[in-house]
Structure 1
């Protein structure tokens, strides 16, 4: 078996990392999770990521690559947006920052794109042709769009304007929690969002990821769409697995 590749998923509340067996698409050891610092500046986050790598060092080859997700648009390793992270990240060459800090090659990718790649190779999208759209419902709404298995990166469909609002401010999982919406009330907002998205892209499959996907039976049956919509197969491990996949294939 090939040596595992470390995948790290940077989220608003926690930074999680684990070695990944890419032949199986599963974690090769228990993940390590460290709280995201309140001031999530590049330097502070780099220190936490270094701690995650150190905790998993025994599972890694010396100098092996690391894949890392960011909740932002990432173009060729450079962070372009910061909707849910510290604004100091904008314009930072994250590939270079983490490569220097960790002393090993690092490849940074948008978090939803990483989750999407994992689902297409190992999860709910495996073997599906045509147009597949994954959305992650969490603090915001992330998106990953695929055409015949090829990723169209950085789609950011959570920021579509709907009824005068940023879509994720109304339909993200955090909106349900913050406004204490019932599953039925939240499903009405999801209906509006997904109806709009399917009208734009006519996907062959919609995949719903993020932590709330574990409760998919509470809201997906309430949606009336022409597109099949299914929960993610890899749940919250998708970002870690997809980050590792990117590190192997971009290295």
Structure 2
């Protein structure tokens, strides 16, 4: 399968585009629509219908990122979206609404898939841990390119605190930390991941990855750590890839 459609659904915006899976990039210009309020599954499904109608010549499976834990298409948590999502079989809701084969995936997991297949970690073997440093800390675990979903390692308890409450980029801005001060917290966080998982590579995503030169060299780690390269394309690309691979498994 050479193409699929990716939708990156977040608390403020819904972005979608067809994706050329041979190269891991948009096959047409991305469209962005504001997330409806309230962002219930039914309201979001209607936005997806409108979004897909803008690409009438694009068929194939559809992948959707959700900022929450997703198990077998069912959403089990809701970060920055309507609590009505919890317990919703999003795969079923969106498949029925759009008439397309829809597969839902956690947003950090989608970014991890994209970076391992097409981005900073392409061709890397072993255990790769992607972290997105933003409002919270999203994580994705991938071993030899295979996703282990819903890792949620931003919620590890470190020094008596939820890790993301002290090490996310939002903590840096909220507390007006210098890069050096934030790097100390990040070093503590990533060393904890090293001790628990012994990864081969860390990949750092999120908007602050654009500033990687300001803080990555300050980290004192044993593991190689590099910035993500797909940035704001990772969600759409990873969602499309996840949908294509899920559809392929379903027909085997």
| TM-score normalized by the length of structure 1 | 0.93
Distance 2:166 2:80 in 1: 15
Task: Provide the residue aligned with 1:20 in structure 2.
Answer: 19
1:46–1:182 CA distance, 2 compared to 1 (3 A) = farther
Correspondence 1:111 to 2:107: yes
The answer to whether the Cα contact below 8 Å between 2:115 and 2:229 also exists between their aligned partners in 1 is yes
1:143–1:17 CA distance, 2 compared to 1 (3 A) = same
CA RMSD of aligned residues (A): 1.5
The answer to whether the Cα contact below 8 Å between 2:114 and 2:234 also exists between their aligned partners in 1 is yes
The size of the alignment, in residue pairs, is 247
The offset of 1:65, in angstroms, is: 1.4
Task: Provide the residue aligned with 2:157 in structure 1.
Answer: 161
1:88-119: per-residue Cα shift (whole Å, max 9, x none)? Answer: 11100000111111111100011111111111
The offset of 1:235, in angstroms, is: 1.2
1:40–1:184 CA distance, 2 compared to 1 (3 A) = farther
Correspondence 1:217 to 2:213: yes
The answer to whether the Cα contact below 8 Å between 1:3 and 1:60 also exists between their aligned partners in 2 is no
Distance 1:180 1:44 in 2: 37
What SS class does the counterpart of residue 219 from structure 1 fall into? helix
Correspondence 1:133 to 2:132: no
Distance 1:96 1:40 in 2: 17
The offset of 1:182, in angstroms, is: 2.5
The offset of 1:133, in angstroms, is: 0.5
Distance 2:177 2:75 in 1: 33
Task: Provide the residue aligned with 1:35 in structure 2.
Answer: 34
Correspondence 1:7 to 2:3: no
Task: Provide the residue aligned with 2:47 in structure 1.
Answer: 48
Task: Provide the residue aligned with 1:206 in structure 2.
Answer: 202
Correspondence 1:92 to 2:80: no
Greater mean alpha carbon deviation, residues 80-89 or residues 150-159: 80-89
Which blocks of at least 5 consecutive residues in structure 1 are unaligned? none
Which blocks of at least 5 consecutive residues in structure 2 are unaligned? 248-252
The offset of 1:59, in angstroms, is: 4.6
Distance 1:85 1:140 in 2: 14
Correspondence 1:240 to 2:239: no
The offset of 1:33, in angstroms, is: 1.1
Match of 2:173 among 149, 153, 177: 177
Distance 1:19 1:186 in 2: 37
The offset of 1:38, in angstroms, is: 4.0
Distance 2:155 2:185 in 1: 14
The answer to whether the Cα contact below 8 Å between 1:4 and 1:59 also exists between their aligned partners in 2 is no
Distance 2:179 2:13 in 1: 26
The offset of 1:44, in angstroms, is: 2.3
Distance 2:38 2:173 in 1: 23
1:60–1:128 CA distance, 2 compared to 1 (3 A) = same
Correspondence 1:121 to 2:117: yes
The offset of 1:3, in angstroms, is: 5.6
1:136-171: per-residue Cα shift (whole Å, max 9, x none)? Answer: 112211111112222111111011111222111221
